[in-house]
A and B are shown apart, each in its own frame.
Chain A
Amino acid sequence: MQEIEGGPSVLYIDKHLIHEVTSPQAFAGIDARGMKVFRPQNTVATPDHNVPTIDQHVTIHDELSRFQVNKLTQNCENHGIELYGLNHPYQGIVHVIGPELGITQPGMTIVCGDSHTSTHGAFGSVAFGIGTSEVEMVLTTQCILQPKPKKMRINVEGELGRGVTAKDIILYIISQISTSGGTGYFIEYAGSAIRSLSMEGRMTICNMSIESGARGGLIAPDATTYAYIRGREFAPTGEDFEKAVQQWESLKSDEDAVFDKELTFAASDIQPMITYGTNPGMGTNISGNIPAESDIESTGLKSFKKSLSYMGFEPGVPLEGMPVDFVFVGSCTNGRIEDLRAFSDFVKGKKKADNITAWIVPGSKQVEKQAKEEGLDKILEAAGFELRQPGCSACLAMNDDKIPEGKLAVSTSNRNFEGRQGPGARTMLASPLTAAAVAVTGKVTDPSGLIQ
């Protein structure tokens, strides 16, 4: 919207998504100025980080969580913002509900006080996470100051192997470029393997862009994108939709676009992945081994040892066969209907391993509803699993879904930092398909050998 001499640009925000954790202090700020939210009609709110995933109809037990969720309700009321509150049919994880309601559209600028806002880039929107002070800026002026990022394009070419999913692709990419490889960039994902993904698969990829340090990740919109958006609650209709599609078609990068950095990976090199360390870049193929100390660059050895020490793993050992305690399926990375289908299809007719405690958490009320309509809840129940209610849940364990100290969880979420899923909890990140295989065998398992 405006360039500041020697400074960041002023960016107008088309859609501002808010949730209960990063907004209270921002609202306190705007209230202290005696001002009202500038464009409430461009603001969408939902509680997701703190909410319980069972008994949502009963009041939230934790006092601080309850207070924070109520604060969001109050703030939305005071400022006339649409709130999809707990028990509302549209409530869910903010990055799941935006796309499923047709709110997220190509070409929009979308921000939210949450780093996984990059998810919406799957639609070809400029979407990124912001801090609470920036939330206050957007509430007050619908604008933000943002320096122009550098551009990176990552191509993934070829056909994916059996059992290899979008989650494996992004875990592979981060293992190759590291958790700081994308810092300062927005990444565009391209290539035939990316094109072959459904919108939910594309969302998984863009979601974890931030784990490589890139604030935003985008995929150019195409027929798959338009088909997904068509007919959704807040999507344009009729002639307006056709006009919108024409506009969206023009958003692609030019044929001869030059990027500050460009990388290409072969889909055939990607196998089902799992992380073994304490950052999302410390991952490898499940059929392989944890790197040996001799595989690590000397400058990274200290960190590597600290990580393995926390995880209680030895360098150089095979990953398959490690006993696991918990399985978590959910989060803004992999909590959508296709993820639940993948999990259910695998466990159908089988039984949960006795040593596993599993939390299967749908990403939103609509996902929950659809899962029930498709009978997935019955399939899960028959196999010894329970479909819970929507929320961020064990991804960051702000609610009661905490992995106990010392326990090992295979999780379809996005971060395996020390204590992320609970103080002392140990996390291995993987796809829903891998999580299903682990839930049934009770140990780290490569799913590719076990499916048709």
Chain B
Amino acid sequence: MSIENVDTDQIIPARFLKATTREGFGDNLFRDWRYDKAGNPKEDFVLNQDKYSGSILVAGKNFGSGSSREHAAWAISDYGFRVVVSSFFADIFKNNSLNNGLLPVQVSEAFLQTIFDMVEADPGTEIEVNLEQQQISIAGTDHAETFEINPYKKECMLNGYTDIDFLISIKDKIVAFEQSRT
């Protein structure tokens, strides 16, 4: 999806934030770009085109800007993506993704353009992401890059740990901290 500055209002419009559970947001992913007013799929939007498939979303720079709605990460995950690739991510979205097992992979602008060019030329092009090795590569070519990820977050992602489990495990320290302040 070669569009820059994709904000979270596009990823999941506000009118879908009335839900009180985490399910079903995938149906409304990019709602107003995917469907017209009458609810018919828009032919020119990438998600509606059969020639593309897979669990990696590749997007233009500054992905996920705007609102802190974690529902954006839920929608992308629920739709079936496991990785988002871009040359730049907004902070809050990046954090929300990491907290939900959705991997944000930041690549150089040049590499991103290479992906777009190759996929444009051949929609069957395969992208591979290896979290353990922090590598992203275009299958069958020499094109590859390593990506950064915070070691703690990587550990959590690989093992399915959540921050909240960690925080609960140090509750005694938190109480001690509160007492030390009074």
Contacts and interface: CB of A to CB of B under 8 A. Distances in A.
Interface of A: 1-2, 4-8, 10, 12, 21-22, 24-25, 28-29, 49-50, 62, 64-65, 67-68, 71, 113-115, 129-134, 136-137, 140-145, 147, 179-180, 183-184, 210-211, 213, 215, 279, 300, 302-303, 306, 396-398, 405, 415, 417-420, 423-424
A132 B74 CA distance: 11
Contacts of B17: 21, 49, 398
Given A140-B164, A140-B168, A179 B65 contact: yes
Given A1-B174, A12-B177, A131-B99, A306 B20 contact: no
B91 A303 contact: no
B157 interface: no
Contacts, number: 166
B27 to A, nearest CB: 15
A115 B67 contact: yes
A419 B13 contact: yes
A145 B167 contact: yes
Contacts of A143: 167, 174
B5 A179 contact: yes
Interface string B132-152: 000000000000000000111
Interface string B1-18: 001110101100111011
B21 A25 contact: yes
Interface of B: 3-5, 7, 9-10, 13-15, 17-22, 32, 37, 60-62, 65-71, 73, 88-92, 95-96, 99-100, 150-153, 162-164, 166-168, 170-171, 173-174, 177-178
A194 to B, nearest CB: 23
B9 A420 contact: yes
B95 A131 contact: yes
B21 A417 contact: no
A423 B13 contact: yes
A7 B152 contact: yes
B68 A131 contact: yes
A22 B19 CA distance: 10
